[in-house]
């Protein structure tokens, strides 16, 4: 058995960004199948146009429309592409100096093999049929392999507006590992047990266990099985719907201080109207049917009132 529990996880978010006048001008050009450069303070033309001059730092305000052909200034062969790149079969990333520009642009070249690419070769843009105003609206190809793909037609009237914002989806895949201490917690849950660990120095019991006592900075080695009964220390009534919500609001999310623990565990309080949940209420873990268990805190469906008298405030006031 591996020391830790691991699972794949994907973290994804679509970033919406406003473009501003300079990048907006550049991306509008790409949408209209035109490469737009910006003139720098020393007279050079840069593609993409930087918002501010890299030397003098003044705003770049003069734009130049350029042809969609250029020269390879440097290149590399991507033998093992990663997700999201312009091609999922091997291709070239290159620094391409657009004809009429003075600084190279990082982009991709489609080719069959690295033997088809060399420094100094001419390349031409191959434009996507549907363009949104993004650097992904085109890819470069060796100049002799395609005829011009730019459509000469002017953009439709509705499209004449400048590209003001873009959406950049970001998605990253991880192989996520729980710490050894968290792993023993989750393995305990798979056996119907709630495990914590005791700090050898301050004797506090942490659940879920952590790699080190946050007070003393020493490993929390001793394993402690906790009671399945505890006290609500504090709670909130969730009234706001959100993405991924599994229970219809209103419902109660609470901190439950299990008997024998020094830190509360967050969980749901059900089987009682939300407005009757209170600090000091005694609750017990209600488990899902055993055949639904995994190595997850979701093995515990929720906590429900035990019917015992409420705990004295003094008994949990140091755990708030």
Partner 1 sequence: MRDVAVVGFAQRQMKDFDGSPSMAELLVPILAECYEQTGWTKKDVGFWCSGSSDYLAGRSFSFVSAIDAIGVLPPVNESHVEMDAAWALYEAWVKIQTGEVDTALVFGFGKASAGVLRRTLTLQLDPYTMTPLWPDTVSLAALQARLGLDAGLWDEAALAEVVNRSLTDAEKNEYAVRAGGSSVDELLARPMFADPLRKHDCAPVTDGAAAIVLAAGDRAREARERPAWITGLAHSSDGLHLGTRDLTISGSAERAAAAVGGTAGVQVAELHAPFSHQELVLRSALGLGDDVRISPSGGALAANPMFSAGAIRIGEAAKRIWDGSAEKVLGHATSGPALQQNLVCVMEAQQNGRAK
Position among 64, 95, 237, 279 found at the interface with partner 1 (CB under 8 A): 95
> Which one of 75-83, 236-244, 272-280, 289-297 is the stretch in contact with partner 1 (CB under 8 A)?
75-83
Length of the chain in residues, anyone? 320
State the nearest-atom distance from the C-beta of 260 to partner 1, in Å: 21
State the nearest-atom distance from the C-beta of 40 to partner 1, in Å: 8
Q: Binders of partner 1 among 144-163, rule CB under 8 A?
A: none
CA angle 175, 181, 186 (to 5 degrees): 70
> Which one of 74-82, 144-152, 227-235, 237-245 is the stretch in contact with partner 1 (CB under 8 A)?
74-82
Burial (Cβ within 10 Å: 0-12, 13-18, ≥19) of residue 48? buried
Which H or E run contains 182?
helix 180-189
Q: How far apart are CA 138 and CA 30, in angstroms?
A: 8
Q: Does 223 bind partner 1 (CB under 8 A)?
A: no
Euclidean distance between the first and the last CA atom of the chain, given in angstroms as a whole number: 37
State the nearest-atom distance from the C-beta of 12 to partner 1, in Å: 11
Q: Which is nearer to partner 1, 15 or 290 (CB)?
A: 15
Q: Which is nearer to partner 1, 2 or 89 (CB)?
A: 2
Q: Does 73 bind partner 1 (CB under 8 A)?
A: yes
The token pair at 70 is 């250029």
Q: Are 142 and 116 in contact (CB under 8 A)?
A: yes
Q: Does 207 bind partner 1 (CB under 8 A)?
A: no
State the nearest-atom distance from the C-beta of 229 to partner 1, in Å: 27
Q: Does 193 bind partner 1 (CB under 8 A)?
A: no
Q: Does 277 bind partner 1 (CB under 8 A)?
A: no
Q: Are 218 and 200 in contact (CB under 8 A)?
A: yes
Q: Does 12 bind partner 1 (CB under 8 A)?
A: no
State the nearest-atom distance from the C-beta of 109 to partner 1, in Å: 12
Dihedral of alpha carbons 14, 16, 22, 27, sign: positive
Q: Are 274 and 247 in contact (CB under 8 A)?
A: no
Strand order in the sheet with 222-225: 205-206, 195-198, 222-225
List the beta strands (DSSP E) in 81-178: 91-98, 105-109, 122-127, 138-142, 165-177
The token pair at 22 is 């300079």
State the nearest-atom distance from the C-beta of 213 to partner 1, in Å: 6
> Which one of 128-136, 140-148, 257-265, 287-295 is the stretch in contact with partner 1 (CB under 8 A)?
128-136
The dihedrals phi and psi of 135, each to the nearest 5 degrees, come to -65, -10
State the nearest-atom distance from the C-beta of 149 to partner 1, in Å: 19
Q: Which is nearer to partner 1, 21 or 305 (CB)?
A: 21
Position among 34, 39, 50, 228 found at the interface with partner 1 (CB under 8 A): 50
Cα separation values, 158 from 52, 161, 162, Å: 30, 7, 10
> Which of 15, 17, 96, 93 shows the shortest CA–CA distance to 51?
17
Q: Does 119 bind partner 1 (CB under 8 A)?
A: yes
The DSSP output letter for 99 is: T
Q: Does 231 bind partner 1 (CB under 8 A)?
A: no
Position among 41, 61, 76, 162 found at the interface with partner 1 (CB under 8 A): 76
Q: Which residues lie near partner 1 (CB under 8 A)? A: 2-4, 9, 11, 15, 17, 19, 23, 26-27, 40, 46-48, 50, 54, 73-80, 82-86, 93-95, 103-108, 114, 119, 134-136, 166, 168, 170, 172-182, 210-219
């Amino acid at each position: 058995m591996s020391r830790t529990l691991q699972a794949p996880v994907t973290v994804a978010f679509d970033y919406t960004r406003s473009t501003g006048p300079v990048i907006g001008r550049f991306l509008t050009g790409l949408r209209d199948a035109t490469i737009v450069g910006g003139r720098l303070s020393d007279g050079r033309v840069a593609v993409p146009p930087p918002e501010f001059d890299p030397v003098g730092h003044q705003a770049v305000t003069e734009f130049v429309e350029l042809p969609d052909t250029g020269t390879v200034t440097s290149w590399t062969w991507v033998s093992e592409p990663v997700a999201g790149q312009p091609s999922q079969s091997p291709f070239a990333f290159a620094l391409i100096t657009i004809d009429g520009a003075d600084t190279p642009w990082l982009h991709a070249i489609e080719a069959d093999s690295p033997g088809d690419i060399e420094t100094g070769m001419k390349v031409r843009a191959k434009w996507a049929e549907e363009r949104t105003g993004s650097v992904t609206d085109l890819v470069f190809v060796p100049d002799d392999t395609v005829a011009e793909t730019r459509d000469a037609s002017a953009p439709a009237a509705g499209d004449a507006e400048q590209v003001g914002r873009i959406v950049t989806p970001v998605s990253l895949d991880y192989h996520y590992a729980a710490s050894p201490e968290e792993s023993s917690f989750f393995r305990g849950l798979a056996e119907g047990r709630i495990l914590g660990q005791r700090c050898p120095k301050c004797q506090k019991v942490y659940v879920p266990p952590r790699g080190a006592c946050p007070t003393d900075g020493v490993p929390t080695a001793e394993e402690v099985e906790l009671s399945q009964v505890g006290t609500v220390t504090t709670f909130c009534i969730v009234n706001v719907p959100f993405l991924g919500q599994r229970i219809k609001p209103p419902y109660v999310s609470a901190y439950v201080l299990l008997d024998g623990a020094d830190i509360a565990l967050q969980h749901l309080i059900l089987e009682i109207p939300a407005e009757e949940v209170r600090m000091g209420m005694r609750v017990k873990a209600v488990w899902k049917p055993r055949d639904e268990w995994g190595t997850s805190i979701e093995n515990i469906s929720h906590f429900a009132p035990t019917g015992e008298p409420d705990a004295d405030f003094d008994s949990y006031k140091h755990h708030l």
